[in-house]
Chains A and B, each alone.
Chain A
Amino acid sequence: DTGVSQDPRHKITKRGQNVTFRCDPISEHNRLYWYRQTLGQGPEFLTYFQNEAQLEKSRLLSDRFSAERPKGSFSTLEIQRTEQGDSAMYLCASSLSGLANEQFFGPGTRLTVL
């Protein structure tokens, strides 16, 4: 399978714990995006990488959130001191820079904070 993959698919944690999610983009894609999606809403942009550089962060991304893409391939999203309001689906997408602005999504990680 050469699509975007995310791990884990589901995560249940207690409030105050730290969690980390991983995204593996399509191999030749140099852009990687993180989104958050809550029930009944479309994906909301969190942050974006071009290769290993984090180029943009949404104001939704509080200090408790950090994302990395150290080698320009896979990326991790960490949430520290989780809160119940962090419960959501976290989606990763990748694309190839250029004229074709087509973004491909992974299956998502569903986070539940108890």
Chain B
Amino acid sequence: GQQLNQSPQSMFIQEGEDVSMNCTSSSIFNTWLWYKQDPGEGPVLLIALYKAGELTSNGRLTAQFGITRKDSFLNISASIPSDVGIYFCAGVDDYGQNFVFGPGTRLSVLP
């Protein structure tokens, strides 16, 4: 079946640093979504990407939909303590029915 890989699996950064994380797939997706999940809560949608090459920002977050439609990255600038959590990417198929999630990148921000 379809699988997504996320890298890195986990990262520790200093407050104020920029963060970059990737999501790759062997399959093509027509939509990429990035979510953040806090412990004991459901994932919260951060950014949605609909077009190959698209670059979208949401505050300090920037995400890009790869040209090949098989990858996406998420950048967080000037990290703050509340950025701590697990970041998931999700690829969505042509019909908007099949959502496949990556295993997540766990982010820790050190003060």
Residues of A within 8 A of B (CB): 4, 6, 31, 33, 35, 40-45, 48, 55-56, 91, 93, 95, 97-108, 110
Interface pair A99/B42, CB less than 8 Å apart: no
Q: How far is the CB of B107 from chain A (nearest CB, A)?
A: 14
Q: Please indicate the chain A residues that have their CB under 8 angstroms from the CB of B43 in the complex.
A: 43, 91, 105
Q: Tell me if B99 and A42 are in contact (CB < 8 A).
A: no
Contact of A43 among B40, B41, B101 (CB under 8 A): B101
CB–CB B101/A48 < 8 A? no
How many angstroms between the C-alpha atoms of A17 and B39 in the bound complex? 27
How many residue pairs bridge A and B at CB < 8 Å?
Answer: 67
Residues of chain A within 8 A of B90, CB atoms compared = 42, 103
Across the A-B interface, the 5 shortest Cβ-Cβ residue pairs? A42-B101, A105-B42, A101-B96, A101-B31, A101-B92
A-side contacts of B30, CB under 8 Å: 101
Q: A108 touches which one: B35, B42, B99 (CB < 8 A)?
A: B42
B residues neighboring A (CB under 8 Å): 4, 30-31, 33, 35, 40-45, 48, 50, 88, 90, 92, 96-104
- Whose C-beta in chain A lies nearest to the C-beta of B9? A40
Q: A33-B99, A41-B103, A43-B101 are known contacts. Are A99 and B45 too (CB-CB below 8 A)?
A: no
**Contact, CB under 8 Å: B33 / A42:** no
Bound-state CA distance A106–B44 (Å) is 9
A108 to B37, CA, bound (A): 11
- A95–B45 CA distance with the chains assembled, in angstroms: 12
Measured between beta carbons, the chain A residues less than 8 angstroms from B45 are 102-105
The verdict on A55 contacting B97 (CB below 8 Å), with A101-B92, A108-B41, A108-B42 known, is yes
Contact A98 B96 (CB under 8 A): yes
* Given A95-B96, A98-B96, A42 and B102 contact (CB-CB distance below 8 Å): yes
